[in-house]
Structure 1
Amino acid sequence: MTVPPVDFPFGPFVPRPENPVLRPGRHDYERYGCEDPRVVLVDGTYYLTYTGWDRHTAWLCLATSTDLRRWDKHIHLATSDDLLHWKADPEPVLRPEPGTFMGDLVESGRSRSGRAPGTCC
């Protein structure tokens, strides 16, 4: 099946399933899919959030690009005192909360308890 090009304000878009912008990679959390992408441009960097699928859990994922062709996937939150040397934080920023809207897929917002997602007590 051939899909016709679609005109967008920034140029024509033609689906290219043989060469996707983002595809499942070496990470287990996205082994079976990279889905539902959203892109925003901030200070010259494109931030793409997407759902990684491992057939058990839908994972909120992040990739960045400066040219929309080469994407760097980010796994952990990192901190820096000087913006030159970075240390990855081993703890996830958000965790699923069974019985809430974040029971299967971590999203931003507030839980039913009123606490920020992923916080305890």
Structure 2
Amino acid sequence: METVLKTESKEEQKVFNTCWEPCAIEKGMRLIGGKWTGSIVYHLKEGPIRFNELTRRLAGASKKMIDQRLKELESNGMVKRQVLNTRPVGVTYELTPFGESALHILEELRVWSESHDI
């Protein structure tokens, strides 16, 4: 498919393979690109973690924001929530196999960011 774009200089530019639907990159970014979402997934890589421990590790994020992102990750099938039979009742979060499949992407992003001082 070919699309013609007009630029400020009124020259026409032809663009090929225009995406009218969300492309694969956009779909992936919707899953892990939200504020704090990638960081939460990355911190869950070592196994189940309790909510309060996760909030300590993500010191810049509010509990409300972390809770919201965890619910989104759970609804997307990336995170599993487990209620513990303890007093007081505790909750842990861990990655599902689908969530674990995003870890190599986040690790590459971390390496790229560090190597470019971003």
Q: TM-score, normalised by structure 1?
A: 0.20
| Structure in which a larger fraction of residues adopt helix | 2
| Structure in which a larger fraction of residues adopt strand | 1
Bigger RCO of structures 1 and 2 (CA < 8 A, at least 6 apart): 2
Q: TM-score, normalised by structure 2?
A: 0.20
The structure whose Rg is larger is 2
